[in-house]
Structure 1
Amino acid sequence: MPIPTVKLAGKEVGHIGLGLMQLTWTPVPPPEEQAFAAIKAAADAGATAWSSATFYGPQDDQMANVALIGRFFAKYPEYRSKISLVLKGGVGQGLKPTGDKDFNRECLKKAKELLGDYEIDVYLPARLVGGVDPVEYFRPFDELRQEGWFRALGASEASAATLRKLSGVYDIAIAEIEVSLWSWEQDIQDVVAWSTETGKPVFAYSPLGRGFITRTWKTPEDIPEGSFQRHSPRFQGDNFYHNLKLVDVLDEIAARKGITTAQLAIAWVASRGPNVIPIPGSSNAARAAANTESGSITLSADEAKEIDDILAKFELKGGRYASNAELML
């Protein structure tokens, strides 16, 4: 059964999307054929909105993710017309945000070369810069849109107030922000409310809590060196074991419903608003398909209330980002 769809930048896309970051920006990326199998499985199940970035790769190959997509399209050209690509940029040396128009133009030029005959649907600055007027910061990005480098402009990790300010000047096609059963703070809820008000979709990244909700690691020491999670307070020491108590409860609810905890988590994120598009990522084809099929799972009113009541009472320990990265929010 096809999963429901959402409108993104004028196109119908699956209500569950696909995050591609972990296929290239991870300590040990999967073999290419394995990555292709996972991408294909997700797309075949209905994940037709993809999230990538011009910096999802090692320092010496930051365009690795875009290049991977280009090679996928070269091997499977029939998917070009099915996919809407949301590409983050505006990140320079040392992963520092930059709105420099020439720099971003060069990134887009290289991305188009790697993608081949493909029109980028949405381009968005990955982060804003503190103390800079967001309207002015977005101006060069919108000028690049007008030059024809991509079809629509998006925003990432912007507050609801900032999104409203930007929307008064630019047509913001999508907002990307972390949304999950352990990332549901008030500022995130406000962005989802903006989405519901405007009808503009939200790309909900890390809907599985960066692997925590699926018990990817049993102890903090299991997390590989070089992983983001090694620096996230929620994955550290006693915080790790305390936060696992939330997963214990989610496992019970999922078992009663006859679905995986991952599917429960993704379905919950999708239920936050009519235009919320979870973008789970996986290098495993079977899991990629199962994640996408979560779009057809409906939570009953009682199930939703049970989860909401648990979240209201459970106090997660640790922030989303390390203290030296808080400015990235």
Structure 2
Amino acid sequence: MPSIPQVTLAGKSVGQMGFGLMQLTWTPNPPSDEVSFAAMKAAADAGATAWSTACFYGNEENPWANLELIARFFKKYPEYEEKIVLVVKGGFPIPSKEDLVNKYREELVKTKSILGNKVIDVYSAARLPPGVPPEQVFEALKTLKEEGLFIEVGASETSAPTLRKAAKIVPIAIIEIEVSLWSYEQEIQEVITWSKETKVPVFCYSPLGRGFITRTYKTPDDIPDGAFIKYLPRFQGKAFYDNLKLVDQLDVMAEKKGLTTPQLALAWICNISPYNIPIPGSSNPERVKQNIEAAAIKLSKEDLEELDKTLSSFPPIGGRYPDAMNGLQMQ
């Protein structure tokens, strides 16, 4: 397997393809530890050493399930602890303005107790609390960093103007936003521009359009009841079928290049900026390896121009989130 480009994150060199662990626990029927561990090992061994997790990637009974899975993995395979840069999101339920530091601290103490010897390399608030000045959030995170609860401060769903303000308060190690051939709005492009200027990497979540680019679902009715994406406008009704026109075009281009459509989509993210780190997730070791290989794929200027033209011709129909969640999107 070819080696993949490297990016500096929290002072360490990591592969330009990361690994998202959400679907290993935040699902009605999570895979067994044996299955999850095989995927996690495959990711690390192939060079995806930047991992994305959260304090709430579980169910109502146990929101800490993802962190507990990671702890069990490192207990069984302690030799991987130093190889992995762990980026942890928190702040759910969203704390009040008056209680930011205490709530984040309480969550971090619990996280550290679960992870044991594994340090939290980066911690970020998953969403900026609505109505709270962003500067106050990053002041709180700076305080907790100085207390030694984690190594570096990250950001999530944060706009370029807010990142500029935040970086004056505390160094930002990484920004996590949605980036894909299906999510490349102006505000996303502005964050990537900021990243190139500052050399702060971008964790690109949902890089395969939450399974839309991979055709996980053929119709809206295929989406299981209770699945989060069932409530997203892009997956509903006529919008679903209109959005498939983009995937049709991507399939044609991928076939011409001898790639899978997911590999084309991931390679595009890596090619538009050397600081982009897509974080696809999978419990299938072979799929994990195929995804990671995409970081080494070089697209030509003509390829990128063709993809730009395709995106302009087939813009996504519907918002990234329902209107009710507007307050939790990029601020």
Contact 1:14 1:46 in 2 (8 A): yes
Which amino acid in structure 1 is aligned with residue 52 of structure 2? S
Q: Secondary structure at the match of 1:37?
A: helix
Contact 2:138 2:169 in 1 (8 A): no
Contact 2:95 2:129 in 1 (8 A): yes
Matched, 1:28 2:29: yes
Which amino acid in structure 1 is aligned with residue 229 of structure 2? Q
Paired position in structure 2 for 1:184? 184
Paired position in structure 1 for 2:205? 205
Q: 1:108 and 1:272 mapped to 2: Cα distance?
A: 34
TM-fit CA distance, 1:42: 1.2
Q: 1:176 and 1:315 mapped to 2: Cα distance?
A: 22
Q: Secondary structure at the match of 1:315?
A: coil
Q: Secondary structure at the match of 2:317?
A: coil
Q: Secondary structure at the match of 1:310?
A: helix
TM-fit CA distance, 1:97: 5.0
TM-score by length of 2: 0.96
Paired position in structure 2 for 1:267? 267
Residues 252 and 223 (structure 1), Cα distance of their counterparts in 2 relative to 1, 3 Å cut: same
Matched, 1:66 2:67: yes
Contact 1:97 1:128 in 2 (8 A): no
Length, aligned pairs only: 326
Paired position in structure 2 for 1:307? 307
Offset from partner CA, 1:106-126 (integer Å, 9 cap, x none):
221221122121111000000
Q: 2:37 and 2:260 mapped to 1: Cα distance?
A: 24
> Which shows bigger deviation, 25-34 or 39-48?
25-34
Contact 1:174 1:203 in 2 (8 A): yes
TM-fit CA distance, 1:102: 2.0
Which amino acid in structure 2 is aligned with residue 106 of structure 1? E
Which amino acid in structure 2 is aligned with residue 19 of structure 1? G
Contact 1:97 1:127 in 2 (8 A): no
Paired position in structure 2 for 1:231? 231
Please give the residue correspondences for 1:54-93 in structure 2 after superposition, counting only pairs within 5 Å.
54-92=55-93
Which amino acid in structure 2 is aligned with residue 86 of structure 1? V
Please give the residue correspondences for 1:142-221 in structure 2 after superposition, counting only pairs within 5 Å.
142-221=142-221
TM-score by length of 1: 0.97
Q: 2:239 and 2:326 mapped to 1: Cα distance?
A: 18
> Which shows bigger deviation, 105-114 or 196-205?
105-114
Q: Secondary structure at the match of 1:218?
A: coil
Contact 2:125 2:156 in 1 (8 A): yes
Which amino acid in structure 2 is aligned with residue 28 of structure 1? N
Paired position in structure 2 for 1:296? 296
Please give the residue correspondences for 1:268-287 in structure 2 after superposition, counting only pairs within 5 Å.
268-287=268-287
Matched, 1:49 2:50: yes
Contact 1:119 1:150 in 2 (8 A): yes
Q: CA RMSD in A?
A: 1.1
Q: 2:109 and 2:294 mapped to 1: Cα distance?
A: 35
Paired position in structure 2 for 1:14? 15
TM-fit CA distance, 1:26: 1.5
Q: Secondary structure at the match of 1:271?
A: helix
Offset from partner CA, 1:144-172 (integer Å, 9 cap, x none):
11000100001100110000011112111
The runs of 5 or more residues in structure 1 that have no matched partner are none
Residues 97 and 202 (structure 1), Cα distance of their counterparts in 2 relative to 1, 3 Å cut: farther
Paired position in structure 2 for 1:222? 222
Which amino acid in structure 2 is aligned with residue 168 of structure 1? K
Q: 1:31 and 1:119 mapped to 2: Cα distance?
A: 25
Which amino acid in structure 1 is aligned with residue 192 of structure 2? V
Q: 1:217 and 1:63 mapped to 2: Cα distance?
A: 29
Contact 1:157 1:177 in 2 (8 A): yes
In the TM superposition, structure 1's runs of 4+ consecutive aligned residues that sit over 4 Å from their partners are none
Contact 1:122 1:152 in 2 (8 A): yes
Contact 2:220 2:237 in 1 (8 A): yes
Q: Secondary structure at the match of 1:204?
A: strand
Q: 1:102 and 1:327 mapped to 2: Cα distance?
A: 23
Q: 2:137 and 2:200 mapped to 1: Cα distance?
A: 21
Paired position in structure 1 for 2:110? 110
Q: 1:161 and 1:29 mapped to 2: Cα distance?
A: 38
TM-fit CA distance, 1:253: 0.8
